[in-house]
């Protein structure tokens, strides 16, 4: 645990070592607000609710989260610091989890900076604050799931651009599989059981119930096991391709 925290601290500081972190946070906060007002038609809905705000989070994460994750291992490989890091008395698992936690905390910071939106809704009306809190929690879980995919892709290459594109692509597949249009299309060509399996793996459908303020244990297990799976895959990727 101690080692994980030391790694995470260093990684988190590394995010803020360049202005990129602040640009990223500004874009995220700006876009979440913009999306809920312009595309989510926040005022037209005439509801004191955060649902319209959360709806677009997975779509934003699709581009932004792989960007956060892409450097985590690809950069270590490219600059050769992976050799420095992995000859310190830590395990690969500790390094992967430490980096993951740093990136997740970073996303958490960005998410926390959107709370003025929540305050605004509270000034304008009486929203269900418990539901909003669950929505934030769900959004944080989706970010974590996307990150675990991104860190695994980053562990597979020394090129950050490739890590970004591969991460975004895999996340896109996991997101799209939850859309009704995609589900309906698949129903036409694939057996029902397969379609059900695919859609049940979607981050989107899991996230939807959370934005409505419903905490289902199955959703929590889904996100936890998704993250565990991709992080485990990342450990294997780092270990097997160290010198590549």
Partner 1 sequence: MTVMVEVEHLTKSFGALQAVNGIDLAVHKGEVLGFLGPNGAGKTTTMRMIAGFLSPTTGTARVCGHDVVTDPTAVKKVIGYMPEGSPSYDDMRVGAFLKFIAEVRGFTGADRDARVMRVMQRVGLVEVMEKPIEILSKGYRRRVGLAQAIIHDPPVLILDEPTDGLDPNQKHQVRTLIHEMAAEKAIIISTHILEEVQAVCTRAVIIGQGRVLADGTADDLLARLPDHTAVCVVVPAEASASAAATFRALPGVAAVFETPAKGGRTRLRLTPREKAPLIEAVNAAVKANAVPVFEVYQDGGTLDDVFRLITAGPAVAA
Site membership for partner 1, residue 6 (CB under 8 A)? yes
Q: Which residue has the tokens 């589900």?
A: 183
Site membership for partner 1, residue 179 (CB under 8 A)? no
**Which of 12-20, 54-62, 122-130, 152-160 is the region at the interface with partner 1 (rule: CB under 8 A)?**
12-20
Site membership for partner 1, residue 123 (CB under 8 A)? no
List the Cα angle 122/125/126 in 5-degree steps. 75
Site membership for partner 1, residue 80 (CB under 8 A)? yes
Q: Return d(Cα 5, Cα 209) in angstroms, integer.
A: 32
Site membership for partner 1, residue 45 (CB under 8 A)? no
Q: Return d(Cα 203, Cα 214) in angstroms, integer.
A: 15
- The CA distances from residue 157 to 58, 73, 74, 151, 236, in Å, are 25, 8, 6, 10, 13
**Which of 35-43, 73-81, 120-128, 220-228 is the region at the interface with partner 1 (rule: CB under 8 A)?**
73-81
Site membership for partner 1, residue 86 (CB under 8 A)? yes
Site membership for partner 1, residue 84 (CB under 8 A)? yes
What helix, strand, coil percent values describe the chain, rounded to 5?
A: 80, 0, 20
Site membership for partner 1, residue 181 (CB under 8 A)? no
Q: Return d(Cα 54, Cα 50) in angstroms, integer.
A: 6
* Residue closer to partner 1, measured from CB, 24 or 172: 24
Q: Return d(Cα 73, Cα 156) in angstroms, integer.
A: 8
Site membership for partner 1, residue 41 (CB under 8 A)? no
- Which residue from 199, 211, 201, 205 is spatially nearest to 139, judged by alpha carbons? 211
Q: How far is the CB of 102 from partner 1 (least distance, A)?
A: 13
Number of residues lying near partner 1 (CB under 8 A): 21
Site membership for partner 1, residue 23 (CB under 8 A)? no
Do residues 117 and 31 lie in contact, with contact meaning Cβ atoms separated by under 8 Å?
no
Site membership for partner 1, residue 20 (CB under 8 A)? no
Do residues 164 and 70 lie in contact, with contact meaning Cβ atoms separated by under 8 Å?
yes
* Residue closer to partner 1, measured from CB, 79 or 225: 79
Site membership for partner 1, residue 47 (CB under 8 A)? no
Site membership for partner 1, residue 18 (CB under 8 A)? yes
Please give the residue ranges that form the binding site for partner 1 (CB under 8 A).
Answer: 3, 6-7, 10, 13-14, 17-18, 79-81, 83-84, 86-91, 242-243
């Amino acid at each position: 645990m101690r080692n994980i925290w030391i790694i995470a601290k260093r990684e988190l500081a590394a995010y803020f070592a360049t202005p990129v972190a602040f640009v990223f946070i500004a874009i995220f906060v700006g876009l979440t607000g913009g999306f809920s007002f312009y595309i989510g038609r926040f005022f037209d809905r005439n509801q004191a609710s955060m649902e319209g705000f959360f709806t677009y989070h997975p779509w934003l994460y699709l581009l932004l989260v792989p960007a956060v994750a892409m450097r985590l291992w690809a950069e270590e490989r490219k600059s050769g610091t992976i050799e420095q890091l992995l000859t310190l008395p830590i395990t690969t698992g500790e390094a992967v989890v430490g980096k993951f936690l740093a990136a997740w905390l970073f996303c958490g910071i960005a998410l926390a900076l959107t709370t003025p939106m929540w305050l605004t809704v509270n000034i304008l009306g009486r929203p269900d604050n418990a539901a909003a809190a669950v929505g934030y929690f769900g959004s944080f879980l989706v970010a974590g799931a996307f990150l675990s995919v991104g860190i695994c892709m980053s562990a597979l290459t020394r090129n950050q651009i490739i890590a970004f594109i591969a991460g975004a692509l895999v996340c896109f597949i996991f997101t799209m599989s939850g859309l009704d249009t995609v589900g309906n299309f698949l129903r036409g060509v694939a057996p029902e059981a397969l379609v059900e399996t695919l859609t049940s793996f979607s981050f989107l459908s899991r996230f939807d119930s959370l934005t409505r303020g419903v905490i289902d244990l199955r959703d929590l297990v889904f996100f936890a096991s998704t993250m565990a799976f991709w992080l485990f895959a990342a450990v294997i990727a780092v270990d097997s391709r160290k010198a590549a």
